[in-house]
Structure 1
Amino acid sequence: MTQRPPQVWAGIDVGKGHHWITVVDADGDALWNRKVINSESDILAAFGEVMDTADHVTWALDLVDGPAALLLGTLASHGQNPRYVTGSKFAAFKKSFSGQGKSDLKDSYIIAEFARCLRRQTVPVPAPSRITKELTLILSHRSCLSAERTRTINRMRALLTSIFPELERSFEFARSDGPLVLLCGYQTPAAIRRMGESRLTAWLA
């Protein structure tokens, strides 16, 4: 019977729909690898199999947000402390491996080897607190709203330039809501002339 190793390293190539996980021993030999669907049941099944391969597992992955959220949450809930391999360091380390092209299986093995050989160059991934998760969601939503507002104003500027370029040049959308209020009612030179300065001023007020 093969003796259970005291330590192994699990490299995870994170993907949107699935992850590839490869486990290596102290000699760099692959002991286990598998495609893991990004679902709680599949991640838990893979977690149990990997934990059965050794007394201690060091987890390493190449992404710590987005598609990795469920995976990181599962590891944190089971007391695991994964390590992050940054993109630049991974790319430099990958050059030392023979063969061309990219594959998820190959990358997961290289991530595991990076964690085994260069652990001090990996970054610990702390489990986020509840307030951190909530703030992340709020900030993400705010960023989306800000980006959409910028896109809308840029489209409006482009359209206004084709109709009334002098008016477009006089507006400072970032400093005042006045231009947006004006354009809600009047967009063309003819419409603004018919309104007149005094009535337009009163309407804006």
Structure 2
Amino acid sequence: MTVPTHEQIEVFLGVDVGKGQHHAVAVSRSGTILFDRTLPNDETRLRELIDTLTQYGPTILVVDQPATIGALAVAVAQDMGIAVGYLPGLAMRRIADLYPGEAKTDKKDAAIIADAARTLPHAIRNLKATDTQVAELSILSGFDDDLAMQITATSNRLHGLLTQIHPALERAIGRHIAHPAILDLLEHYPTPAQIRRLGYARLATRLSKKAPRMGARLAGDITTAISEQNVVVIGTSAAETVIPKLAEQLSSLQRQRSDVVAKVEALVEAHPLYPVLTSMPGVGIRTTARIITETSGKHFATAGHLAAYAGLAPVTRRSGSSIRGEHRSRRGNKKLKRVLYLSAFAALQDPDSRDYYDRKRAQGKSYNQALVALARRRCDVLFAMLRDGTIYQAHPRPSAA
């Protein structure tokens, strides 16, 4: 199916999506209001509305949220073969300032979306029918992010409790707090007194079951740490109840994340861009998944456009002679920005990336500024790779001269 151009579209349907119901406003090319009312978040009503509007000519549906509560509206429109667009929230709020009144209502927002689609086509992002792989990757990657945050929070809580009741023990096992052997120990022997009663031999045997290469060493470190404190800190009794539950929770979260990562890995490896993206230094399975989900279905005219979309392009501010300079952007796709920044950090092991980073540091850039510059430079490489489907090639290094 050929997607109509903006000049060919006759009906502009703006939908301010909601959990239970949407407000929809449809306007013709001349600005005549064809529809303006609330409708339920229901497939049947959405189909009826789109069927009615397409009688006037080619139609585009534009939403303010293409995922979560707006996913059904987008899916129905795509299934019915009409064009679908997305008006980003920041753009919408800026456009809303051009309209009279300070009220913010669903009806007004839907009218603004429809009118923006009619008069400001450059502000609308086209949404193509996303393939199954990308849709599944997006859900799984989001869940993986949630699990990672929960793992961090649970680990920090466990660190805090151990530090409170026995600082020396926390120092001995802190680096390995998430290791299955340590979690198993804390789940069954949560207090220093219980671990002390085990003795070195039984402790080493237990740890070696899940950490055969370092079980004996860990047992020695733990035994030494336990002997450094004889006083029982207030709160140890309560910690005896909480620590096993935290250890069990952390083990469960890690198992869940391993299962999710296995599914993500299978989907990523089946994607045609897998060999291209993973050829870049510092880009692994999770980074590849995020790059695919955050760039799929989007068109970038230049590498600078990609960098700006990721929030890595510097923002120039000039006004006469009083305001001059470039500043770090606070906008852009934060998920894509984060993975590109972290991949730049991981890529410091690559000689070419390290050389570029060192040159930026020699120019007086801070650690963070040099990493952002490296991430921005990687957008140039990523853009070329996505455009041409080529494997990563290191930039030619500058001559000694």
Q: Normalized against structure 2, the TM-score is what? A: 0.46
Q: Does the Cα contact within 8 Å between 2:155 and 2:178 map onto a contact in 1?
A: no
* Alignment-derived partner of residue 10 in structure 2: 7
* Correspondence for 1:190 among 189, 193, 213: 193
* Alignment-derived partner of residue 3 in structure 1: none
| 1:160-202 alpha-carbon deviations (Å, 9 max, x no partner) | 3333333234412576333312211222121122222232112
Q: Which moved more, 1:63-72 or 1:129-138?
A: 129-138
Distance, in Å, in 2 between the alignment partners of 1:90 and 1:44 is: 26
2:159 is the counterpart of 1:179: no
2:63 is the counterpart of 1:61: yes
1:174–1:75 distance in 2 versus 1, CA, 3 Å: farther
Distance, in Å, in 1 between the alignment partners of 2:52 and 2:156 is: 52
Distance, in Å, in 1 between the alignment partners of 2:40 and 2:150 is: 32
* Alignment-derived partner of residue 87 in structure 1: 89
Distance, in Å, in 2 between the alignment partners of 1:179 and 1:151 is: 17
Distance, in Å, in 2 between the alignment partners of 1:159 and 1:50 is: 61
Percentage identity across paired residues of the two chains: 31
* Alignment-derived partner of residue 100 in structure 1: 102
Letter in 2 for 1:8: V
1:174–1:13 distance in 2 versus 1, CA, 3 Å: farther
**For 2:61, what is the secondary structure of its paired residue?**
strand
| 1:8-58 alpha-carbon deviations (Å, 9 max, x no partner) | 211111111111110112343422112121121222122222223x21212
2:20 is the counterpart of 1:25: no
Letter in 2 for 1:72: V
| 1:96-121 alpha-carbon deviations (Å, 9 max, x no partner) | 11111211010000011111111022
Q: Does the Cα contact within 8 Å between 1:9 and 1:60 map onto a contact in 2?
A: yes
Normalized per residue, the structure richer in strand is 1
**Relative contact order, CA 8 A, sep 6+: which one is greater?**
1
* Alignment-derived partner of residue 44 in structure 1: 47
Q: Give the root-mean-square deviation of aligned CA atoms.
A: 2.1
Q: Which moved more, 1:21-30 or 1:171-180?
A: 171-180
TM superposition shift of 1:143: 3.2
- Structure 1, unaligned stretches of length 5 or more? 1-5
1:78–1:195 distance in 2 versus 1, CA, 3 Å: same
2:105 is the counterpart of 1:74: no
**For 2:34, what is the secondary structure of its paired residue?**
strand
TM superposition shift of 1:153: 2.5
Q: Does the Cα contact within 8 Å between 1:172 and 1:179 map onto a contact in 2?
A: no
* Correspondence for 1:164 among 166, 170, 176: 166
- After superposing on structure 2, the runs of 4+ consecutive aligned residues of structure 1 that deviate more than 6 Å are none
